Amino acid sequence: MGEDNLQSHPNWNAILQWSLRFQDEPSENRVLEPLDQERREFLMRAFEDYAAMTEDPVKSMRRHLEVIKNPASSKEDCVVALEEIAFHAEDIDEANDLYLMGGLQVCCAYIKHYDPELQSLACEVIASAVQNNEKIVQFASETFVLSDLLKLVDTAQHEMVRVKSLLAVSCLVRGNKGALEKFNELDGYNVIVRSLQSPVPKLQLKSLFLLSSICLDSPDQCKVYNSMGVPQQLFAMCSKFSTEDHTAETHDASILITLKLLHTLAIHSKVDFPHDALTSFTTLRDSLGGDRFKEERTFCTLLIKLRPPSTDGVDR
């Protein structure tokens, strides 16, 4: 709560001062006793002030939905409204309320909007709403939503839209067997493999994360992605990682996810290791120093062990 709010609500300021004084007092000197009438009334007034300041979530969502449903609303107002709705949708009960009042359907229509910022925010609403919510996952899978999201991942002109739509797809598909089946039916595996080849780092990272989750949760999918050449893409990425400088403080999460995914694929399907695999993984492992890369080094070692023995004296 900002200083202006404290000054405009003296009860809150008084509670803060009282709390600070109580904390400063040594615990052995504190005496717990029933509240007298004056303190009780003071606290009740403070709680009433708080209740007056806090808008009911359903009312808040209805108010913001009216904004995005109104063609006369400005883009700025729609941005704020979608941001607030996405915030509410993070709560599973409020996400259900949004769905039951028809608000989620209104937000989903915005993924077809011409403005990329509004499209991206609509994707954020979907990503928030579907998490751990089977009813909304079913809705998004059985209607146009998943199909339209995949089209955005594949063909959207704006990088932000592609990243946010892939986020929504990932939240929808991960851990949801029915959604994964619909994802495959809609050729989602080809979409995700194409996005893995993207030069956009965020898109590539989210693709790796989704692929890794799918293959861990559903090992039978590993053969599909193996047949599509995903391991070869991952081997090439590992070779590139082995030539880069990893001494900077920033930790590239894509290295670990790439190694984990490649390890999962190698365990559950017959992966053809390239002839330079030993050199590539050894070089990468040796370049990853310090405790922060401990897990990456472990997966490099595991992959080296999974490499089939050479029969022609060539590094495999």
| Residue 263 vs residues 27, 243, 300: alpha-carbon distances, Å | 54, 20, 9
Asked if the model's pLDDT at residue 48 lies above 80, the reply is no
Q: Rounded to whole angstroms, how far apart are CA atoms 5 and 2?
A: 5
| pLDDT-wise least confident of 12-16, 37-41, 119-123 | 12-16
- Nearest Cα to Cα of residue 225 among 165, 171, 275, 270: 270
State the Cα angle at 62 between 61 and 65, rounded to 5°: 85
Name residues whose C-beta falls within 8 Å of residue 135's C-beta, 6 or more positions apart in sequence. 96, 99
Name residues whose C-beta falls within 8 Å of residue 298's C-beta, 6 or more positions apart in sequence. none
Is 89 buried (19+), middle (13-18) or exposed (0-12) by CB count in 10 A? buried
Q: Which residue has the tokens 């008084």?
A: 14
Arithmetic mean of pLDDT over the chain: 86
Asked if the model's pLDDT at residue 176 lies above 60, the reply is yes
| pLDDT-wise least confident of 13-17, 36-40, 172-176, 211-215 | 13-17
pLDDT tens, position by position, 129-154? 999 899 999 999 999 999 999 999 99
Rg (CA), the chain: 26
Q: How many CB atoms lie within 10 A of CB 206?
A: 25
pTM listed for this prediction: 0.79
Q: What is the DSSP-derived secondary structure letter of residue 166?
A: H
Asked if the model's pLDDT at residue 313 lies above 90, the reply is no
1-22 average pLDDT score: 52
- Residue 289: band (very low, low, confident or very high) from pLDDT cuts 50, 70, 90: confident
* SS3 at position 156: coil
Task: Name the strand (E) or helix (H) holding 185.
Answer: helix 177-185
Q: Rounded to whole angstroms, how far apart are CA atoms 214 and 180?
A: 8
The dihedrals phi and psi of 184, each to the nearest 5 degrees, come to -70, -40
Asked if the model's pLDDT at residue 18 lies above 90, the reply is no
Strand ranges in 176-291 using DSSP code E only, listed in sequence order? none
